[in-house]
Structure 1
Amino acid sequence: MKKTILVFMTMSLLLFIAFPAAAVEREERKWQDETIYSIMIDRFNNGDNTNDFEVNTKDPQAYHGGDFEGIIKQLDYIKDMGFTTILLSPVFDNGSKGYHGYWIHDFSKPEEHFGTMETFKRLVDEVHDRDMKIILDFVVDQVGPEHPWLDDSSKSDWFKNNRDNKVELENQWLTGLPDLNHENPEVREYLLDAAKWWIEEGKIDGYRLNHVGHVPADFLKEFSEEVKAVKEDFYLLGEVRSNDTFSIVEYEAAGIDGFADYPSNENLRAAFAQPDRSMAGLFSALEEKESLYQNPSLITTFMDNHDTSRFTRDAVVLNEHPGARWRMALTYLYTTPGIPIVFYGSEIALDGGETPENFGQMNFMTDKELVDYISQLGEIRGKNPSLARGSFELLHEQDGMAVFKREYEDEISVIAINNTSGTKNVTVPADDLKDKMELRGLLAGDLVRSNEGSYHLVLDREEAEIYVLSERTGINIAYLSAMLVVVLLFIIFIILLKRRAKRGTANS
């Protein structure tokens, strides 16, 4: 028995020596490290049929049955794709046909089509148990057209002048809704109390603030201070629907952490909707963001959302294959500065035009090729902090072929995106990286070693690779020797066991 223990101890020691030391535990995750999956609750997944009243899946303006329970049942699906945060459409009680959540009827309780407060709390717990975060879309500027305040004469000064502008419900989306009067202290108090209550009771991690550009900056500052006093590291994502970065930056001073990157979205969609399109405008926008925002890494990048048509539609209109278009676009989102947000259904290239056509029903039984690609991107981004925290340097860009570098501490990543219709060769001088090393591909397993002071990258059409700069690999004599010793010790161990078994048999 002593010999057996000695052999096991020796084997364990050698194995410990033979294998390289584990990587230093990654730093605590920050908001800039997140990857966000955005969900329109009603159209995602129906997990509880008991709340399916007034549901009509054939009517694009009606509830379709998605709920909190449905999200709970698909949390592993979301996590397995590498997402670390979930952004939910408004959960608050809505008026009739307010399936999208933006026709708020009561901020103090969840929409009954989605489930109870108990179910919502369980959803948050399940999210946190998976080491994920959850953000709610908070409508800070408007209420729904059926809100009881509209019929309360004592609250006439809670609204701006458009409180009586009641358009047909079928024609409304987010325009023409009653605008709240933030100059009224009672309105402010109500919104602040509601926002803090959901943080305290719901244990959520952040808010997306709808239509920040329609809200006074002094109220936003108060809102930010109040909610962040309730929970440390609470994230505020502002939506300012403008293509002018300068008009957005001013809201940073109000305490908003990050903003939806609308200024880049049009160029982003145009660059990836078809091959052979220049990315120069995108990289110019990156430089602008770096110079204007206090923390550009907290800006959220996206291809589409609840306010836009689906990016898939852009590709379809141009007779392009959506899968390739999405792979190129997502590689860019996941590897450039900013927090990527992916709208539900993008992983199956869900199609759709303007609202409500862009709110298609999620289908979990379709081809998983794009799902697998997103999962791979998510894993790579999660394991390589340079992709979320690193500096950015453009190394090459021409007509859809781009190569850029991200660097964080001692980690250097090189991203190559060939969004063209042909094979491309790009030579990167070793002076831009380091000489006598190698680029190890994490997406397709490509390996590029420096040769005469350069790295020669070759990519097929509509393909991308994410490289990590590493020491050159070779034959690891020490590792092979250690493994050989382990094998020999294992053989000796087996022989000893057999001899002991024979002696036992002879003695019996």
Structure 2
Amino acid sequence: MKNLFLVFVIVFLFSCQKREQNKMEFTREVAEVMSEIERVEPPNWFIGFKDSSLQLLVKEENIGASIPSISYEGVSIEKVNKARSNNYLFIDLKIDASTKAGKFNIDFTFTDGTKKTHTYELKSRDKSSDDFIGFNSSDAIYLITPDRFANGDESNNINTALKETDIDRSDNYKRHGGDLQGIINHVDYIADLGFTAVWPTPVLLNDMAESSYHGYAMTDFYKVDSRFGNLSEYKKLADKLRDKDMKLIMDQVANHCGIGHWWMKDIPFDDWLNNQKNYEENINNWNDETNIGSNHRRTTNQDIYASKADLKGNNEGWFTPAMPDLNQRNPFLAKYIIQNSIWWIETLGLGGIRQDTYPYPDKYFMSNWAGSIMNEYPNFSIVGEEWSYNPLIVGYWQRGANNRDGYESNLKSPMDFPMQKAIVEGLNEQESWDQGLIKLYEGLANDFHYASPKDVFVFLDNHDKTRVFTELWEDVSKVKMGLSYMLTLPRIPQIYYGTEILMNDSANPGDHGLIRSDFPGGFKGDAVNAFTGEGLNESQKDMQSFITKVLNYRKSSKAIQDGKTIHFSPSTGTYFLFRIKGDETVVNIINKNDQPITISLKRFEEVGLDGKKVKNIITGDTFIWGDEINLSEKGSVLLTTKI
């Protein structure tokens, strides 16, 4: 009994000691949390960059009344910059080439003697800068609006801490519940179609009161919107694509943020935003379009006669009252945007960036932004959105352009809106077959203006434009002609999700909510499942098959990816395009004749196909290229010498 009592005493004393240790650990954890800084961005960084500088944005109450210090080998504070708001510091660091990955404390000593600490991490890089390979003319890109593609995790549909909590699939401008997991679940479907890259529209936090589903009004540049998932799932998507030898392209926005962005409650500097004074003086009446100062005259970037007022209206006016226009002439904001892009490239191992509203920000900043990225990642790719149907304007933005004003954009790939328009108008032209096809022919003939035609980014529709099936009057043969032409051009092609099943917005052409309709089969209860083919009609299945055959051929076609291009001016309602590399020749015949027609092939002798066997890429049929060819129906004929 005595021994039992002794054991009891020992256990009691041990439990008391354990409780005291737990209490001390809890107190220490609370103290560490209490001393943690509200926000430090970038949230971490990486060693081994060419540029040894790093600028930290630090956000914390009264942080301007503190002195920061760091004791970590290879890391030094070069300068501490205060802002208009005393709740910010911008700390310039230098990271020596010999610096090792690891964590270290940034200590802040305030004027009243209090101290706060933030633990920061420098991470090792997964691969060298040269190993970040961007998209190019060998790729075919699948564009997705994530909220409307597939709901892979219903548990993240609603976050009551955010402003917009409704899920309503009957409303085209509400959230529908699609997410990153939904894309992850269907990577195999996208790969089987023949795509080699995926471009989702933005998935970063959009804590806005309404219409937050599209993602272009970001309220945090470092946080994934919880309704799409989290950073781990974003990384998982990137990893799964890489496992399939596919690339992830991130949609970024340097021009603006959302009015609900966290810094809008406490703006760091007087010039953090364009038209900031006007905004701050009229904040209670800011829903009025007349306040924002925008004219959207993008040609002022090139116009040698443009007034300063018009140029300012484009570069400094707000995109909408709900999207504050960022002033990239502020050096701290400029550094913030550049570092944010680099952080995402490293964090996700990106295969490219698509930059929204490219001609709206300060164009010299955009040159510096793109140049900084390409200097660090020489094999990377960036595509910029310039919504102009004038090839002179589009070509101005491409790297290597011979611009009159000497401007160098450093941008590899502008978007080919001129070709999109030429294809749609040319195929819809009814008055004269040849006249319509000449629009395609001359659209391609304009390539003399581009510094690198094969790096131009071509498409038939996207998340902002009427769906191509609608634009081509729901004529399947026209859609096939348009797609086959686009996919055999010296270009980087992009196809919008749902084009493969003839999705349309015919009920209200051009309506953004309708353009971004739900992909059938991506949501619980869908009667049609395009992923499995269940419920699709024959035309939809045929279009899926057509795209699959063309894209999967294109994957291994050096002629299409990097070959010589020859085309012949349209005649008798037909247009012949040839792509040639080595012993591979690909022929695309666009035929607008409703009735059978026989075409003499003597005109094309210079291509050197006489007597050679060619195969129809779609049907698999073969024949010998001879004196003539019989075209039995309107549409596209794709031929190859690869048997």
Q: Name 1:196's counterpart in structure 2.
A: 342
Which residue identity lines up with residue 465 of structure 1 in the other structure?
A: V
Q: Name 2:173's counterpart in structure 1.
A: 61
**Inter-CA distance 167–398: structure 2 relative to 1 (3 Å threshold):** farther
Bigger shift: residues 345-354 or 39-48: 345-354
Q: Name 1:100's counterpart in structure 2.
A: 214
Question: Is it true that 1:281 corresponds to 2:417 in the alignment?
Answer: no
1 CA distance for matches of 2:206 and 2:288?
16
Q: Name 1:440's counterpart in structure 2.
A: 615
How far has the Cα of 1:327 moved from its partner? Answer: 1.3
2 CA distance for matches of 1:274 and 1:420?
12
Q: Deviations over 1:235-292 (max 9, x none)?
A: 1001111122222222223211111101222221122347747221122121212x12
Residue 38 of structure 1 aligns to a residue whose secondary structure is strand
Question: Is it true that 1:403 corresponds to 2:576 in the alignment?
Answer: yes
How far has the Cα of 1:153 moved from its partner? Answer: 4.4
1 CA distance for matches of 2:565 and 2:186?
35
Matched ranges for 1:58-97 at <5 A: 58-96=170-208, 97=211
Which residue identity lines up with residue 513 of structure 2 in the other structure?
A: P
2 CA distance for matches of 1:213 and 1:431?
44
Residue 168 of structure 2 aligns to a residue whose secondary structure is coil
Q: Name 2:480's counterpart in structure 1.
A: 327
The answer (yes or no) to whether the contact 1:86–1:134 under 8 Å persists in 2 is yes
Which residue identity lines up with residue 514 of structure 2 in the other structure?
A: E
Matched ranges for 1:171-186 at <5 A: 175-176=320-321, 177-186=323-332
Which residue identity lines up with residue 440 of structure 1 in the other structure?
A: K
Residue 105 of structure 1 aligns to a residue whose secondary structure is coil
Out of 153, 159, 167, the position equivalent to 1:48 is: 153
Residue 213 of structure 1 aligns to a residue whose secondary structure is coil
How far has the Cα of 1:232 moved from its partner? Answer: 4.4
Residue 590 of structure 2 aligns to a residue whose secondary structure is strand
Consecutive unaligned residues in structure 1, runs of 5 or more = 1-27, 472-508
The answer (yes or no) to whether the contact 1:32–1:298 under 8 Å persists in 2 is yes
2 CA distance for matches of 1:243 and 1:396?
22
Identical aligned residues as a percent: 26
The answer (yes or no) to whether the contact 1:405–1:412 under 8 Å persists in 2 is yes
**Inter-CA distance 30–148: structure 2 relative to 1 (3 Å threshold):** closer
How far has the Cα of 1:230 moved from its partner? Answer: 4.3
**Inter-CA distance 157–198: structure 2 relative to 1 (3 Å threshold):** same
2 CA distance for matches of 1:446 and 1:31?
30
Out of 289, 311, 315, the position equivalent to 2:472 is: 315
The answer (yes or no) to whether the contact 2:574–2:590 under 8 Å persists in 1 is yes
How far has the Cα of 1:221 moved from its partner? Answer: 2.3
Alignment: residue pair count? 434
Question: Is it true that 1:362 corresponds to 2:519 in the alignment?
Answer: yes
Q: Name 1:140's counterpart in structure 2.
A: 254
1 CA distance for matches of 2:183 and 2:319?
25
Residue 470 of structure 2 aligns to a residue whose secondary structure is helix
How far has the Cα of 1:432 moved from its partner? Answer: 2.2
1 CA distance for matches of 2:548 and 2:392?
35
How far has the Cα of 1:203 moved from its partner? Answer: 1.2
The answer (yes or no) to whether the contact 2:371–2:410 under 8 Å persists in 1 is yes
Residue 254 of structure 1 aligns to a residue whose secondary structure is coil
Out of 368, 372, 378, the position equivalent to 1:226 is: 372
2 CA distance for matches of 1:45 and 1:200?
27
How far has the Cα of 1:396 moved from its partner? Answer: 4.9
Normalised by the length of structure 2, the TM-score is 0.64
**Inter-CA distance 88–404: structure 2 relative to 1 (3 Å threshold):** same
Out of 388, 391, 413, the position equivalent to 2:564 is: 391
Which residue identity lines up with residue 173 of structure 2 in the other structure?
A: Q
Q: Deviations over 1:463-489 (max 9, x none)?
A: 322222379xxxxxxxxxxxxxxxxxx
1 CA distance for matches of 2:354 and 2:560?
24
Q: Name 1:462's counterpart in structure 2.
A: 634
Report runs of 4+ in structure 1 exceeding 6 Å deviation.
Answer: none
Q: Name 1:167's counterpart in structure 2.
A: 287
Q: Name 1:240's counterpart in structure 2.
A: 386
Bigger shift: residues 403-412 or 173-182: 173-182
Q: Deviations over 1:21-74 (max 9, x none)?
A: xxxxxxx99611100100011110000011111221112111111111000111
Question: Is it true that 1:131 corresponds to 2:289 in the alignment?
Answer: no
How far has the Cα of 1:167 moved from its partner? Answer: 3.2
1 CA distance for matches of 2:275 and 2:353?
27
**Inter-CA distance 118–258: structure 2 relative to 1 (3 Å threshold):** same
**Inter-CA distance 175–432: structure 2 relative to 1 (3 Å threshold):** farther
The answer (yes or no) to whether the contact 1:396–1:404 under 8 Å persists in 2 is no
How far has the Cα of 1:84 moved from its partner? Answer: 0.4
2 CA distance for matches of 1:225 and 1:90?
22
Q: Deviations over 1:1-37 (max 9, x none)?
A: xxxxxxxxxxxxxxxxxxxxxxxxxxx9961110010
Q: Deviations over 1:281-308 (max 9, x none)?
A: 122121212x121211011111111121
Question: Is it true that 1:117 corresponds to 2:272 in the alignment?
Answer: no
**Bigger RCO of structures 1 and 2 (CA < 8 A, at least 6 apart):** 1
The answer (yes or no) to whether the contact 1:68–1:120 under 8 Å persists in 2 is yes
Question: Is it true that 1:426 corresponds to 2:599 in the alignment?
Answer: yes
Q: Name 2:14's counterpart in structure 1.
A: none
Normalised by the length of structure 1, the TM-score is 0.80
The answer (yes or no) to whether the contact 2:134–2:352 under 8 Å persists in 1 is no
**Inter-CA distance 57–221: structure 2 relative to 1 (3 Å threshold):** same
Larger helix proportion, structure 1 or 2?
1
2 CA distance for matches of 1:46 and 1:30?
27
What root-mean-square deviation, in Å, do the aligned CA atoms of Structure 1 and Structure 2 show? 2.4
Residue 369 of structure 1 aligns to a residue whose secondary structure is helix
1 CA distance for matches of 2:555 and 2:572?
30
Q: Deviations over 1:308-360 (max 9, x none)?
A: 111222234xxx43x32321211111112211110111111111122122111
Question: Is it true that 1:272 corresponds to 2:386 in the alignment?
Answer: no
1 CA distance for matches of 2:153 and 2:559?
41
2 CA distance for matches of 1:415 and 1:192?
42
Q: Name 1:349's counterpart in structure 2.
A: 502
Q: Name 2:113's counterpart in structure 1.
A: none
Residue 93 of structure 1 aligns to a residue whose secondary structure is coil
Residue 463 of structure 2 aligns to a residue whose secondary structure is coil
Q: Name 2:309's counterpart in structure 1.
A: none
**Inter-CA distance 75–137: structure 2 relative to 1 (3 Å threshold):** same
Which residue identity lines up with residue 331 of structure 1 in the other structure?
A: S
Q: Name 1:149's counterpart in structure 2.
A: 263
